[in-house]
Amino acid sequence: MTDMPFLTDEHRIFRDQLRRFVEDEVRPHATVWEAAGEIPRAVLRRMGELGFLGIRYPEAHGGAAMDTLATVIFAEELGRSGCGGFAITALVHTDMASPHLANAGTPDQIARYMPDIIAGRRITAVAVTEPDAGSDVGGIRSQARLDGNHWVLNGRKLYITNGVLGDLYFVAARTDMQAKPSRGTTMFIVEKGTQGLSVARQLDKSGWRSSDTAELLLDDVRVPADQVLGEIGGGFYAIMQNFQNERLVLGAQAMGEAQRALEITLDYVKDRKAFGATLWDKQVIRQRLAHRWAEVAAARALIYQTAAAMEAGNDCVREVSAIKALCGELVNKVMYDCQQFHGGFGYMTGTEIERMVRDARVQAIGGGATEVMLEEIAKRL
């Protein structure tokens, strides 16, 4: 698609490096990873070696010190891999979990963990969602009580991406059940192997099958007091703050997926013959694909414009909510048409378009369902 005027030469070089990595080291293995149900750690370490896991983090810790636009490029190119499970595994690590440490960690905490996070030696997960709490962060029921110089955590966490793969969990728990959730929730750093922390089960999903999703149990998990992340009682606002970055990158990922689907579908319909001509010769097909292309181009422009505004320090909650709602629905419309125009071939397990259709469905659910996002927009109209 048309290049964005916001981009610098550094952005374009970064995008080209990512695109080569995806072409050489991701797409050829997507089917194998899908069957295995996981992304090999070696791939994530390779991304760390290439500088892809610390795009916006300081150079002092091994990061690239780039900007919000670079994050959008990263998410978009991972989406274009055609392997949603790979994309979300990396994006949770870089843009949904580790930012909690970057934004609220003490100098000691950052020095202890960030170099390994950026290098891909420690994979991160964020444990907020529970059976009764997703976008409704105020519904968190996991608790933490102070016992001497430790906090003791109890509760359940559900739908945790990287829950099995992860080495470091950023866990939300109520530290004051009498206070409002917005003032009584705290974030904690919990290392894998901590006594009482366990994976209750690895969940089976219809899509993103190469990304692990788990239910975690917190059973008297003792966390040293110096593993509190940010202010005691400040967890609610930390979660809400990072929702904006999370939803921006999910929108960019979705539009990367849509672009890839359109690319492979255009190749298919221009080659596939039916009734004496190619499918591309059928007006209804080429006009439908043209319409979807126009919609994706418009949504993509909104994403990049919003990223530039966020980088400038503007409040973009309304625009980010619009991106999440719009792109989560649009990617599914694109996938529906692209699979339809692949015919029976597109319904066969193991084809790229069939995998992408399954992967895209969650984009209208995870990270803030469309209906929740529309309410966020409505509040600001």
What is the rounded CA–CA span in Å between residue 256 and residue 67? 19
What is the rounded CA–CA span in Å between residue 336 and residue 256? 16
Can you tell me which residue has the tokens 């440490």? Answer: 101
Q: Do 289 and 266 meet the contact criterion of CB atoms below 8 Å apart?
A: yes
What is the rounded CA–CA span in Å between residue 147 and residue 196? 15
Residues 6 or more apart whose CB falls under 8 angstroms from that of 358 comprise 206, 207, 209
What secondary structure letter does DSSP report for 209?
T
Residues 6 or more apart whose CB falls under 8 angstroms from that of 202 comprise 37, 163, 164, 212, 213, 214
Residues 6 or more apart whose CB falls under 8 angstroms from that of 177 comprise 143, 184
3-state secondary structure 14-79: HHHHHHHHHHHHCHHHHHHHHHHCCCCHHHHHHHHHCCCCCCCCCHHHCCCCCCHHHHHHHHHHHH
What is the rounded CA–CA span in Å between residue 47 and residue 158? 27
Q: Using alpha carbons, select from 251, 241, 225, 232 the residue that is nearest to residue 102.
A: 241
Can you tell me which residue has the tokens 């597109």? Answer: 346
Q: Which residues are catalytic?
A: 246
Residues 6 or more apart whose CB falls under 8 angstroms from that of 148 comprise none
Amino acid at 150: H
Q: How many residues are there in the chain?
A: 381
What are the tokens at 131?
Answer: 């059976």
φ, ψ for residue 298, nearest 5 deg: -70, -45
